[in-house]
Structure 1
């Protein structure tokens, strides 16, 4: 999945819930110095972390979720989109507690000066889209861990990133347990919902863009569906673009190809997006639309799907699975008004 900021110019607004209790910062886990030094292999070689890091910078879009899940609070995080305080989405707020990390931006690559100002002893950039030159420049500041070896630069496999991050902060066992536990939860959920197995489903951005529907092809971007047992129909692959193996750009006149999906999951972020979909007559003719085999996310659920992190994926399971059940049964609330 390519960075969301390169796909849409959307700004999401989330109304934060109120709490009667003040947030607390969990006690950080102390990693014995005897566990160090550790060496981790990534796309640009091997990085050695000489001692338990105390000032960790999360230089990519989603690494801070994994750090927080492991009990490590970064001194700086990188904002992707959503305009959330400290670039931390609702599923991670409790883990952040009352910490106030510096917020970095990466729209034009790493903010080297601001990163250096944090005096980091470890820079995690597993989801920062680094090239060799950027990696070398960050490594001159502090030990830096880039994307997993052989991975795509942006949004490589979440599990490989989590294991790499865990190893770098001396918590390999905890990271492995975190990954294995989440994979088991997906498997258990799939087993508890046998109707998902083999059912074709298509995940799309919403609304339409430049006269096209944008659907995600089978791969990392749709693993949240296939790990639940769904399949992604290959019918949409013919609309993939050269150099973009994850997205199919389907012209509105060819929208009938979406009938290959029993369920359509639309990554909607506000009511206006759904209204724009329903304003297209060709959309209303689709079989899944007429039968109510639809899921419309809200902004937070869409963000959780796009993040695909050890903290966001449990949120996806909690909030998406009931909607998938309803969509398979035919949810009249998702049908366009007559």
Structure 2
């Protein structure tokens, strides 16, 4: 979950976030005042659905609990991908957070139709969370289930408005997409709708797997689309690899020994690229130039998956959809990636991003 992933841009962003927040001091009284002014707000004109749950709602999470007294109207997303979930629930946030890609409103093409004419404020985490800017937006709910939120971050945000992060033990990133969807849906009073989103995606994967029995049992590797800091960053089994395993593939074994810290990607040096060879490899490339960068890294060009036409090179939007790993983005993944996986299994995948 592209996110989802610790994208190469996000890895440095996370470090900056931790450093910046340790140095930032806010006045709690001022933040509390901002929170109180947000108590009475006009209904968000961009909402397209009504809540089905009864408020107040209490959300248990990693750092305690958030009590949401009434249907939130001014939602600020401090995570990287949660805008997708909200938009599919018919709930438009007033602020999103830029991850990478510089998409308008930090909303990617698979979600723009649901955004409509709304223009959320876009926050940045380049120098840490923008607490003062967030407070100035007068939110009545802050959502960060995929934000890398630390306890220190949480305590400061919770002074502004009720703040929801991921479940206990989920880690800073890579929280289960189903759990994130349930948490976000509950926070906005749309639990049943959230379950429907999850069920829809799971059924779509099952249908795609049934249509492609040739996928079953084949090995697959998923790699970011270029080396970073001297390594290729590859995903071990269970780390945002559902989009492959739910189709019947088995993630290439042995990657775990290259994971430097629990819950992260395998970092594969140029001389070790042979360990990712598989029946199918998906490289999340984002440009034609990136394809060449991948092929020139170590022994990549000589891998049997590459020489045999079994390697998929994505374009920017498909890579983003895989990284986001939200219910909405996964529908895009199923539409665009499955035909390319079928080509790869047949040995007919071209070495270009347009498939």
TM-score by length of 1: 0.88
Q: Indicate the residue corresponding to 1:248 in structure 2.
A: 266
Q: Indicate the residue corresponding to 2:109 in structure 1.
A: 90
Q: Distance in 2 between matches of 1:251 and 1:125?
A: 33
Maintained 8 Å contact 1:219/1:246? no
Deviates more, 1:244-253 or 1:51-60: 244-253
Q: Per-residue displacement from partner, 1:287-330 (whole Å, max 9, x unpaired)? A: 11111101000000000011111211100110000000000000
Which gives a bigger RCO, structure 1 or 2 (Cα 8 Å, sep 6+)? Answer: 2
Unaligned runs of 5+ in 2: 14-44
Q: Distance in 1 between matches of 2:85 and 2:112?
A: 13
Q: SS where residue 264 of structure 1 aligns?
A: strand
Q: Distance in 1 between matches of 2:99 and 2:309?
A: 33
Maintained 8 Å contact 2:236/2:256? yes
Q: Indicate the residue corresponding to 1:268 in structure 2.
A: 285
Q: Indicate the residue corresponding to 1:257 in structure 2.
A: 275
Deviates more, 1:76-85 or 1:108-117: 108-117
State the superposition RMSD in angstroms. 2.0
Match of 2:49 among 25, 29, 42: 29
Q: Indicate the residue corresponding to 1:19 in structure 2.
A: none
Q: Indicate the residue corresponding to 1:108 in structure 2.
A: 127
Q: Distance in 1 between matches of 2:194 and 2:339?
A: 28
Q: Indicate the residue corresponding to 1:2 in structure 2.
A: 6
Q: Indicate the residue corresponding to 1:307 in structure 2.
A: 324
For residue 267 of structure 1, report the CA deviation from its aligned partner: 0.8
How many residues are treated as equivalent by the alignment? 317
Structure 2 residue 180 is matched with structure 1 residue 153: no
**Greater than 4 Å deviation, 4+ residue runs:** none
Maintained 8 Å contact 1:277/1:283? yes
Q: Indicate the residue corresponding to 2:210 in structure 1.
A: 191
TM-score by length of 2: 0.84
Structure 2 residue 310 is matched with structure 1 residue 293: yes
Q: Per-residue displacement from partner, 1:109-140 (whole Å, max 9, x unpaired)? A: 32111111111111111111111121111111
Pair 159,277 (structure 1): closer, same or farther in 2 beyond 3 Å:
same
Match of 1:236 among 255, 266, 282: 255
